Amino acid sequence: MQTTFVLLAVLSCIALVYAAPSRPNFPETFSAGTQVTIVLSRGNKTAHGHGFFVADKPEGRKYEMFAITEKEHQDLSVRLLDRFDLHKSYEVVDNKTCHERREDGEMPPVWGWVAHATYDGQKVIDSKQYEVWGYKAGHAHVYVAVTAQSPNVPVYLFMDGPERNTTVKFLSFRTSKPDEAFFEVPKQCHRNSSVELEAAAPGCVARSTMLSRGEVWVRKNIPYSQTHTYEGYREDCSGFVSMCWGTSKPGYTTFTMHEIAHPISKAELQPGDVMLCAKEHVVLFVGWTSSARTEYTYYAETQPGEGCVRRTSVYPYYYNASCFKPYRFNQAC
């Protein structure tokens, strides 16, 4: 009996360790080659791509390059370079025009969300078994897969949301210091062609100003966060709208936005207005996609792993439709 008890205790300890391995500790200085797959929930469209992801956080530098095949024989090539050491970020699409932006503060960690991740167990991916850690915030779920033999080397990164699922497969992951050539400012960026954030002015705010402010975050794809700020504004949906409207920092929330805005009708919607669900989300209205006024384009901070994006939705919104109502900033002009 005593032997059986001891054996069961040992097996229980083994099971406990097996079920909850140590949390991954990914380095913030690395170079990685990647494959990317994006699946859009609406229209069932799939895009594939490849590229590089390089970071050197101690120096405040990050480089991303990828080529996404949206349709057969059509590639979209994008280079994103963050040089926090120069207080600048650069984006070059298809080796053409450079979009240059100002950066303030310290570069946010690439793997910061992992500190809040929970163990999702072992899962089989492409016929191989991995340890999976996930983090869920709102409607988004981001999780990473590692092997038991190399728990601090990411193999797959999944970013699932209500509109799209993104899979990043790391073909290589080197923790050595990245090549300095990655961080050279692209030749297209030798002249400043940016749209900088405008300082909020007293009085009314022009709709063109609201949209130009929003475009900066969309081009930069500012990551979603309810705790971090960018140029003083919280990096979530209501912080983003507050920035577009030029309110006090760090911004209002979906629960307090009614204090600075008022409800309007669908017919009154103009660029710079919002679709607001006070319980959970708000998006900046950009414009109708057609005269039928059944779908519209919007800017929004979406969810961890996606950040600030430009999207389209059916009116009033593609989920929880009864909650979303049109509102207008009291100082819009």
Q: Which CATH number fits domain 195-333: 3.90.1720.10, 3.40.1280.10, 3.40.350.10, 1.10.3720.10?
A: 3.90.1720.10
For 2, list phi and psi in degrees, rounded to 5. -65, -40
State residue 53's pLDDT score: 94
For the chain, percent of residues with pLDDT exceeding 90: 45
Structure tokens given for 182: 């990655």
Is 195-333 in the same CATH topology as 22-194? Answer: no
Closest among 188, 242, 225, 267 to 108, alpha carbons compared: 225
Over residues 85-105, the mean pLDDT reads: 81
Q: Give ∠ CA 324-164-155 in degrees, rounded to 5.
A: 140
Q: What is the pLDDT of residues 124-164, one digit of tens each?
A: 999 999 999 998 765 678 899 999 999 999 999 998 876 77
Structure tokens given for 194: 């940016």
State residue 47's pLDDT score: 82
State residue 151's pLDDT score: 95
Residue 44 has pLDDT above 80, yes or no: no
Task: With cut-offs at 50, 70 and 90, classify the pLDDT of residue 225.
Answer: confident
Over residues 163-191, the mean pLDDT reads: 87
Q: What is the pLDDT of residues 17-29, one digit of tens each?
A: 445 689 999 999 9
Structure tokens given for 122: 């072992």
The one-letter amino acid code at 48 reads: H
Round the average pLDDT of the chain to a whole number and report it: 84
Task: With cut-offs at 50, 70 and 90, classify the pLDDT of residue 41.
Answer: low
Q: Are residues 50 and 63 in contact, defined by beta-carbon separation less than 8 angstroms?
A: no
Closest among 107, 317, 81, 32 to 183, alpha carbons compared: 81
Residue 333 has pLDDT above 90, yes or no: no
Longest dimension (CA), the chain: 82
Q: Output 229 or 42, whichever has higher pLDDT.
A: 229
State residue 3's pLDDT score: 47
State residue 203's pLDDT score: 63
The one-letter amino acid code at 149 reads: Q
State residue 227's pLDDT score: 82
Over residues 45-51, the mean pLDDT reads: 85
Q: What is the pLDDT of residues 187-207, one digit of tens each?
A: 888 754 444 444 444 568 888
- Architecture (CATH level 2) of domain 22-194: Clam (2.50)
Q: Are residues 60 and 84 in contact, defined by beta-carbon separation less than 8 angstroms?
A: yes
CA atoms within 13 A on the CB side of 25: 2
pTM above 0.75, yes or no: no
State residue 12's pLDDT score: 45
Annotated domain spans of the chain: 22-194, 195-333
Residue 67 has pLDDT above 50, yes or no: yes
Residues in the chain: 333
State residue 237's pLDDT score: 94
Over residues 262-266, the mean pLDDT reads: 91
Q: What is the pLDDT of residues 306-331, one digit of tens each?
A: 889 999 888 999 877 888 999 999 98
